[in-house]
Amino acid sequence: MGGHNVSHSNVKTKRRFSPNLRTKRYFLEEEGRWITLKVSAAGMRTINKKGLVTALKEAKAPAKIY
């Protein structure tokens, strides 16, 4: 995703927005092993809220088109 840096004099220069990615280890209880995921901060909150297995199933599922 792109955008602009805007200076005090209102000069606009191109910039990029990067996702907030972190490498995080989670314990998968069903398989009894650790998995390493590169996940965003929003993804970590989703995993904490819904649980690891549910979040992984939703991430693998094809997107719904309304």
- Confidence class of residue 59 from pLDDT cuts 50, 70 and 90? confident
Q: Is the pLDDT of residue 1 over 90?
A: no
Mean pLDDT of the region 47-55: 94
What is the DSSP code string of 1-66? -EEEEE-TT--EEEEE----EEEEEEEETTTTEEEEEEEEHHHHHHHHHH-HHHHHHHHHSPPP--
Q: How far apart are CA 49 and CA 21, in angstroms?
A: 18
